[in-house]
């Protein structure tokens, strides 16, 4: 079942390559702050690399001005996420989260079956607005669409 508004973010260990620390937990990402978490089906994939992540990079100052942390999630390993961040000039305060085994994505109920495309199980394209570990908004894209999880849509949603 998909996570709902009012529910707490599930506990999970996520991987990241930041300050030499290869992992973090969901509580340290979400508790005590406002966070927009957006997820992509795969690093280096066309829509994710050409539109989704670049939109958040472009609008980072707008999120900062609102006191909102931005985190990007993908069912990829931390090394892929780090390389993708470098290739996209991602600022250090945009948190790149790797959910290599998809456990966090499964706990959110937002798994996409990409086996037909040779991708295995991945995250659906979505964005959540989380305040102190509690989900306040859930925006899940219909298959093949990119509208409700964009940086622009999330800025409008949290205005």
Known active-site residue 72 = no
Enumerate residues 6+ apart whose C-beta is below 8 A from 156.
none
Three-state DSSP at 125 gives coil
Which residue in 26, 18, 56, 42 sits closest to 130, CA to CA? Answer: 26
First to last CA, the chain: 28
Closest to 157 (Cα-Cα) out of 3, 2, 5, 1: 5
Catalytic residue among 14, 39, 48, 138: 48
Q: What residues act catalytically?
A: 48
């Amino acid at each position: 079942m998909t996570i709902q508004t009012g529910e707490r973010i599930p506990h999970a260990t996520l991987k990241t390559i930041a300050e030499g620390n290869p992992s973090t937990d969901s509580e340290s990402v979400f508790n005590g702050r406002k966070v927009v978490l957006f997820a992509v089906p795969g690093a280096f994939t066309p829509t994710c690399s050409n539109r989704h992540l670049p939109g958040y990079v472009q609008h980072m100052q707008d999120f900062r001005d609102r006191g909102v942390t931005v985190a990007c999630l993908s069912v990829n390993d931390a090394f892929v996420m780090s390389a993708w961040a470098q290739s996209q000039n991602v600022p250090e305060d945009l948190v790149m989260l790797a959910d290599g085994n998809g456990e966090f994505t499964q706990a959110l109920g937002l798994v996409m079956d990409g086996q037909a495309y040779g991708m295995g199980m991945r995250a659906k394209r979505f964005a959540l607005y989380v305040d102190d570990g509690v989900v306040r908004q859930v925006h899940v894209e219909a298959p093949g669409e990119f509208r409700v999880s964009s940086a622009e849509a999330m800025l409008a949603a949290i205005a």
